[in-house]
Amino acid sequence: MARYIKSATMERGHDLEAIRATVTEIIEDVRTRGEDAVRDHSRRLDAWNPGSFRVDEAARRKAERELPETLKEDIRFAAAQVRNFARIQLENVKDLEVETLPGVLLGQRTIPVASVGSYTPGGRYPLIASALMTVVTPRVAGVERIVAMSPPRSEEGMHPPTIYAMTVAGADSIYCVGGVQALAAMAFGALEGLDPVDMIVGAGNAFVAEAKRQLFGTVGIDLLAGPTEILIIADDSADAEVVAADLLGQAEHDPRSPAALVTTSEDLASRVAELVEKLLETWPTAEVAGPAWRDNGVIVLVDSDEEAVEVSDDFGPEHLEVQTRDPDWYLERLHNYGSLFLGEESTVVYSDKAIGTNHILPTMRAARYTGGLWVGKFLKTVTYQRLSRSASVEIAGPAGRISAAELMFGHELTAQIRIERYGRKK
């Protein structure tokens, strides 16, 4: 039976009631007043009021010129990995046409979304890798127009590596705008020269997540995400220091980020608990990771591998690491996670930054019903039908009678007219 060595003291996620009204006000203001509202909120929240929010070609060249060559190489490498995996995924999304009855041809086609707005966070951390995840992937999917936005980091505007990443990824236009006003601007086309987009994607803080929730319907979204999460399943073969470091590596995202260890080893549970506290003494982002571990850290001792699977699937973590003797045993049995990291050699930071899988992933148990961002999120799977006249007559009977039973007599007539035109089947 599962025993909690350490329990979280806070509920997962954010207090949306404290955020919802603010987000609603900003969205409605941008919807009704357009760029003036974007400018007012940008000035008030980010102390940012440029002549133009658009990052022009000169600014793109400046960012490229001033970045260290090693960082540019790393960004290009990461972009290539994301692009390559997205292309492989796309190759496995197939159109089809099948004959389900004589003369009845049913098919499906995948059509890219026409335009996408990519949001890259830049508050506590300027997440330049997020620009790659949310621009490269729709570009591979065939999206025609991609708008990228991120908030200012200084008086000069956006973080230069973020500008470079957006450029390398293939963004058509880049704007230095942050937060709720950025998402609303993309949804409503509320900046000069900016047409509304069809879909908004990207990570962000609780205000960004709530803005996506409220804008859904006006535009499509990728998914709703709360603070970053990690859960590690480990047995007595795991290295306690590696486990502790991986927990804190994700805890540094946000003071509300859950970090959980599920283990069959009581000794490992004790060692990890001790090592986390020791590592926090010198951890470079202890001001964030410390509160996250104190309030949201969890250590669960379980009796068996099967119970570890049960606890993990109930948690439904965004990131799930398996550091056991036989990670493949878990691969075959785990169901609820955003992305899975098998073996000590795999770690979340690889996926977050450079390995090629996408790091926009479900949190707060959403892994029970959705995966993360991938090339297919930008494809509409649409269906079509093609019938011979004899097949049309055959389908008309059941379709018409079901329509009549539903009292939808107009529907019945559209089936009946085909029977009359094509002749009753004998």
pLDDT digit string, tens, across residues 296-340: 999 999 999 999 999 999 999 999 999 999 999 999 999 999 999
Give dist(CA 248, CA 323) in Å, integer.
Answer: 16
Burial, 94: exposed, middle or buried (Cβ in 10 Å; 0-12, 13-18, 19+)? exposed
Q: In the prediction, which pLDDT does 426 show?
A: 46
* pLDDT over 60 (residue 183): yes
**385-423 tens-digit pLDDT:** 999 999 999 999 999 999 999 999 999 999 999 999 998
Cα angle: 310, vertex 311, 317; to 5 degrees: 110
* pLDDT over 60 (residue 425): no
Kindly report the pTM of this predicted structure: 0.93
Q: In the prediction, which pLDDT does 424 show?
A: 56
Give dist(CA 300, CA 85) in Å, integer.
Answer: 34
Per-residue pLDDT averaged across 108-120, rounded? 97
Q: In the prediction, which pLDDT does 2 show?
A: 85
Q: In the prediction, which pLDDT does 266 show?
A: 96
DSSP letter assigned to residue 407: T
Catalytic residues: 318-319
* pLDDT over 80 (residue 12): no
Helix or strand or coil: residue 104? strand
Q: Residue 132 is encoded by which pair of tokens?
A: 């790659």
* pLDDT over 80 (residue 50): yes
Burial, 76: exposed, middle or buried (Cβ in 10 Å; 0-12, 13-18, 19+)? middle
Alpha carbons within 13 A on the beta-carbon side of 207: 17
* pLDDT over 50 (residue 259): yes
Backbone dihedral region for residue 132 (phi beyond 0: left; psi -120 to 50: alpha; all else: beta): alpha
Per-residue pLDDT averaged across 174-186, rounded? 97
